[in-house]
């Protein structure tokens, strides 16, 4: 008597049931499915759970709501979208590149690690910056369901666009802190917080206990707590130029998850304003670091948060510092020039209010000169650069002599500003003088700063007609720089070198080698 032929779905259901009955995990089932049925990892994990596309999409949307990615439960994942995500980067049919956020949600819904959902084909089609982000997410704890107390206002939720006015730091946001490595707890009072500490990053809950102890045992209480947060900011200012961005993001992750709870306990208006200022600076560092690992949309959201917090603090220096830093980075990240000029106009309006000390405007004046020269407003750029040079002479010694932190503005920063503007003006003699001076002023530990100077020199060499020397210099710079030190300004300036090479010279071996190196580092 002939045996009835069973469908593939029935065969897989039977295999999964037998494996699970033997106590094997979903991961072991997924591995068996991948091997036996030649499935890609994301499809293998879905089938290991026995879910159709629509069933899996519902699970993912539920996870998105529970972890705070989508608190209203209206995540955009659908069955057809999931099908496209599973097939990427296939050569046939519609495919969709999964974002780090999507992979984090899939991993949580399936009970997997992000790396379990990727194969060699995936990795070869992600950019170096994307691989760095995914590696950082893989080392972090996966997103967990968050605890949000009912009818409470957030005190320092950083990173979204909700327009409700929160209770303490005065920032518009949702009651969830979006951060680089997943979701974290919003700030609540102590009893509510203790009910939800399991959702914080490792050691964050213990750090909050330590802050409580510090406030209780130290004379002055809140003053000691503020001093420690100032020290936290200072340490980032010292380490940013030498620490890999992924390392900085993991540290910022923990610090930002704690700052809101500290702020909520604070009732003194002066202390709250200081915490807003500190929050603005930490958000600005996060904006830098998220861009450095390739997530430019997230970086722009962090910049908005930094400016909102700075404005809420009322501190002129912080308001202008955040805008000056954003202008410079926006140019490297190739944002539309009208948007960059809008940032300049914002800073102009703040400065016009008066009472601004010289050290508050230096970053913004540098950004202004750079923005004007990129917009082709060369006369305005020369005037702005003259303002940079004149204001430098008015800076306090403590600012001009600070070569270690991001809050200093030493001769090294001046020469970098001159190098950038003169390079784009086509004044290669003055640009070379500035680059030579700057290269002598960078310590060995600041590899990224030295690389920026070297790449600016390469741009000038190529544009002045010495294509061979320019490409050789650029190749040497990027070859010496460790991969974990590649940032968006480094990669943007590298592309500027390549773009400066005439089309007729693009087939040179040195140009092709440099292009191949960039293609392996980020999306060309």
The reported pLDDT for the residue numbered 195 is: 35
pLDDT > 90 in the chain, percent: 31
Separation of alpha carbons 316 and 318, rounded Å = 6
Half-sphere exposure of 473 (CA within 13 A, CB side): 20
Closest CA to 65 of 52, 77, 76, 74: 74
Task: Give the Å distances, CA to CA, from 134 to 182, 253, 390.
Answer: 12, 15, 45
pLDDT class for 202, splitting at 50, 70, 90?
A: very low
Nearest to 488, CA basis, from 445, 434, 451, 442: 451
275-301 pLDDT, tens digit per residue, is 999 999 999 999 998 888 878 888 898
Instruction: Give the model confidence (pLDDT) of 297-306 as tens digits.
Output: 888 989 998 9
pTM for the full model?
0.57
Residues contacting residue 291 through CB under 8 Å, at least 6 positions apart: 299, 329, 333, 487, 488
The maximal CA–CA distance of the chain, rounded, in angstroms, is 99
Say if residue 180's pLDDT is above 70.
Answer: no
User: What residues have CB less than 8 Å from 146, skipping those under 6 apart?
Assistant: 66, 67, 68, 176, 183, 184, 185, 186, 196, 199
Which pLDDT belongs to residue 70?
56
> Does 186 score more than 70 pLDDT?
no
Asked if residue 70 lies in contact with residue 108, where contact means CB atoms within 8 angstroms, the answer is no
Greater confidence (198 vs 378) lies with: 378
User: For the segment 348-388, what is each residue's pLDDT rounded down to a tens digit?
Assistant: 999 998 889 999 999 999 999 999 999 999 999 999 999 99
What pLDDT was estimated at residue 362? 95
> For residue 88, what pLDDT is reported?
92
Angle at 60 between CA 58 and CA 61, to 5 degrees: 65
Check whether 187 has a pLDDT greater than 80.
Answer: no
Mean pLDDT of 72-97: 81
pLDDT grade for 67, boundaries at 50, 70 and 90: low
Q: How far apart are CA 112 and CA 60, in angstroms?
A: 13
Q: Comparing C-alpha atoms, which of 204, 197, 206, 289 is closest to residue 247?
A: 289
Please name the residue ranges forming H helices in 395-500. 397-400, 411-425, 428-439, 447-463, 467-480, 488-500
Task: Please measure the distance between the N-terminal and C-terminal CA atoms of the chain and give it in whole angstroms.
Answer: 62
3 state SS for 86-143: HHCCCCCCCCCCCCHHHHHHHHHHHCCCHHHHCCHHHHHHCCHHHHHHHHHHHHCCCC
Q: Which has more pLDDT, 489 or 177?
A: 489
- Tell me which of 256 and 471 has the higher pLDDT: 471
| R_g of the chain, CA atoms, integer Å | 26
Higher pLDDT, 323 or 138: 323
Mean residue pLDDT across the chain: 78
Average pLDDT over residues 224-231: 82
């Amino acid at each position: 008597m002939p045996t009835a032929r069973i469908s593939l779905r029935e065969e897989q259901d039977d295999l999964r049931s037998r494996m699970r009955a033997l106590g094997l995990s979903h991961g072991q089932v997924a591995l068996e499915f991948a091997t036996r049925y030649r499935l890609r990892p994301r499809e293998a994990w879905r089938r290991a759970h026995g879910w159709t596309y629509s069933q899996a999409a519902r699970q993912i949307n539920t996870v998105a709501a529970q972890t705070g990615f989508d608190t209203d439960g209206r995540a955009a994942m659908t069955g057809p979208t999931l099908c496209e995500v599973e097939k990427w980067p296939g050569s046939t049919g519609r495919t969709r590149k999964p974002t780090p956020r999507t992979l984090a949600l899939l991993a949580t819904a399936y009970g997997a690690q992000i790396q379990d959902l990727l194969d060699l084909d995936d990795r070869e089609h992600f950019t170096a910056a994307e691989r760095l982000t995914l590696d950082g997410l893989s080392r972090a704890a996966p997103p967990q369901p968050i605890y949000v107390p009912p009818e409470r206002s957030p005190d320092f939720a950083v990173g979204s666009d909700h327009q409700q006015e929160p209770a303490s730091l005065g920032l518009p946001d949702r009651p969830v802190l979006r951060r680089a490595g997943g979701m974290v707890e919003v700030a609540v009072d102590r009893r509510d917080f203790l009910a939800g500490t399991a959702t914080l990053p490792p050691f964050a809950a213990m750090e909050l206990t330590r802050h409580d102890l510090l406030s209780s045992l130290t004379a002055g209480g809140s003053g000691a707590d503020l001093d420690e947060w100032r020290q936290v900011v200072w340490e980032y200012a010292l380490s940013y130029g030498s620490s890999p961005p992924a390392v900085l993001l993991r540290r910022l992750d923990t610090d930002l998850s704690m700052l809101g709870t500290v702020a909520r306990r604070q009732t003194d208006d002066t202390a709250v304003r200081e915490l807003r200022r500190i929050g603005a600076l930490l958000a600005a560092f996060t904006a830098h670091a998220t861009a450095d690992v390739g997530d430019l949309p997230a970086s722009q959201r962090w910049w908005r948060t930094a400016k909102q917090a700075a404005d809420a603090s009322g501190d002129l220096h912080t308001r202008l510092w955040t805008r000056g830093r954003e202008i410079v980075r926006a140019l490297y990240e190739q944002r539309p020039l009208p948007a960059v000029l809008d940032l300049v106009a914002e800073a102009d309006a703040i400065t016009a209010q008066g009472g601004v000390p010289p050290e508050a405007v230096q970053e913004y004046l540098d950004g202004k000169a750079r923005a004007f020269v990129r917009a082709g407003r060369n006369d305005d750029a020369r005037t702005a650069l003259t303002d940079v040079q004149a204001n430098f002479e008015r800076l306090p010694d403590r600012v001009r002599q600070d070569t270690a932190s991001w809050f200093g503005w030493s001769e090294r920063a001046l020469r970098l500003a001159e190098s950038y503007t003169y390079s784009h003006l086509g004044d290669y003699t003055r640009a070379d003088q500035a680059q030579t001076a700057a290269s002598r002023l960078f310590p060995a530990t600041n590899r990224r700063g030295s690389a920026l100077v070297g790449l600016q020199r390469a741009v000038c060499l190529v544009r002045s007609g010495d294509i061979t020397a320019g490409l050789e210099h650029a190749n040497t710079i990027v070859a010496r720089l460790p991969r974990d030190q590649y940032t968006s300004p480094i990669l943007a300036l590298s592309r500027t070198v390549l773009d400066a090479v005439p089309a007729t010279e693009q087939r040179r071996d040195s140009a092709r080698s440099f292009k191949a190196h960039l293609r392996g580092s980020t999306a060309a």
